[in-house]
Amino acid sequence: MAKNINIGMIGYGFMARTHSNAHRKVNNFFDLEYRPVLKTVCGLVEAEAKAFADKWGYESYTTDWKKVVEDKNIDLIEICVPNNMHAQVALAAAKAGKMIICEKPLALNVAQAKEMVDAVEKAKVPNLVSFNYRRVPAVTLAKQLIDQGRLGRIFHYRANFLQDWTISTDVPQGGMATWRLDVKAAGSGVTGDLLAHCIDTAIWQNGSIKCVNAMTETFIKERKNVETGKVEPVGIDDACTFFCRFDNGSLGNFESTRYARGHKALYTFEINGEKASIRWDLHDLHRLQYFDHRDEGIIRGWRSIHVSDGDQPYMKKWWVPGLQIGYEHSFVHQIADFLEGLATGKPARPTFRDALETQKVCEAVLTSAKTGQWVNIPS
């Protein structure tokens, strides 16, 4: 019989839903030694915390996150609150000896991130940052193909994360639904929210980034703040483009924006190697595009791989070939791997320490955008 892991969920927003769903489903599909139990959910507004608990089957709810962190019955703290809350919750949870799964980006800045890494490592608590896209099967498959050396020497890494939901001046900043536009809550705009995903995947697939050169822009300069009710300057980056050099000699080109009309969440990456290339696109996340130069010339072409077969990552756990899974499943895989890591002693990644690397790149990107200069990533 599986051992229970009692979950304390901090937050009841969008990410709390994705994580709760993952906890509820994981043991139906994966054979694991551990089983998450939805114990407590915590949020600012009591009625909403209660409603969330009812909806998802949490045994209790509270508005005081410190209580959850200190609760003896809780094994694992889920941090699904705005970025400016990550550090304080994580530090307290580490101190209380809890396992931690934290939403991305890890922190508001590198200094804070380092403190968090130190805390979890000192406390020796299992820790994970929720860069969920690593665990979309097609993305995991891409990583496997790279690790198998199929691409050969890498020349180019290219990633975009394009959205269009903030084009209207009517979109406010601050509050529950739009805190991502408020620099105080979010720390940055697309860089921390979207490029952080691209950078995490890139480092995982292609190794460390050596130096970056960036440009950012804030297209809409002021927006109403729903908390203050006033029109205030917008402090985040609406768009960010950067190029970089990886340690392996390849060149990177990254771009993110919330002003690309027609793209809801178009996270794409492409890797060009000497022997083969790979492309992926979140809007059709169950497909991987693969070009292998070693294929016979007259029938060489980009292969559209429908990643739904039992021998492709994670897919044996789900349905049958041809039947696709979706966005939410990346979170199920994440918790499955985390629990598997507990059982095997080989922790799932990215850990807080891994996420610190992404934080360093994000910070360098923002610095470069301000100075107009190349910035090296500190080791």
Contacting a copy of itself within 304-363 (CB under 8 A): 304-306, 308-309, 311-312, 318-329
Question: Is residue 231 within the footprint of a copy of itself (CB under 8 A)?
Answer: no
169 and 217 in contact (C-beta within 8 Å)? no
CA distance 137 to 311: 11
x-marked contacts with a copy of itself along 71-110 as a string, rule CB under 8 A? ----------------------------------------
User: Could you tell me which stretch among 16-24, 111-119, 222-230, 342-350 binds a copy of itself (CB under 8 A)?
Assistant: 16-24
Concatenated DSSP letters of 252-277: EEEEEES--TT-SSEEEEEEEESSEE
Identify the CA nearest to 309 among candidates 339, 286, 332. 286
Question: Is residue 378 within the footprint of a copy of itself (CB under 8 A)?
Answer: no
Question: Is residue 207 within the footprint of a copy of itself (CB under 8 A)?
Answer: no
Name residues whose C-beta falls within 8 Å of residue 183's C-beta, 6 or more positions apart in sequence.
189, 234, 235, 236
Candidates 67, 300, 316, 370: give the one binding a copy of itself (CB under 8 A): 300
The nearest distance, CB 355 to a copy of itself, in angstroms, is 22
The 3-class SS string of 178-236 reads HHHHCHHHHCCCHHHHHHHHHHHHHHHHHCCEEEEEEEEECCCCEEEECCCCCEEECCC
Size of the site for a copy of itself (CB under 8 A): 91
The nearest distance, CB 243 to a copy of itself, in angstroms, is 5
Question: Is residue 295 within the footprint of a copy of itself (CB under 8 A)?
Answer: yes
- Pairing mode, strands 266-273 and 276-281: antiparallel
User: Could you tell me which stretch among 12-20, 120-128, 223-231, 350-358 binds a copy of itself (CB under 8 A)?
Assistant: 12-20
The nearest distance, CB 74 to a copy of itself, in angstroms, is 21
Question: Is residue 37 within the footprint of a copy of itself (CB under 8 A)?
Answer: no
Question: Is residue 285 within the footprint of a copy of itself (CB under 8 A)?
Answer: yes
Question: Is residue 284 within the footprint of a copy of itself (CB under 8 A)?
Answer: yes
| Location of structure tokens 């304390």 | 8
CB atoms under 10 Å from CB of 47, counted, come to 9
Residue 301 vs 345, nearer CB to a copy of itself: 301
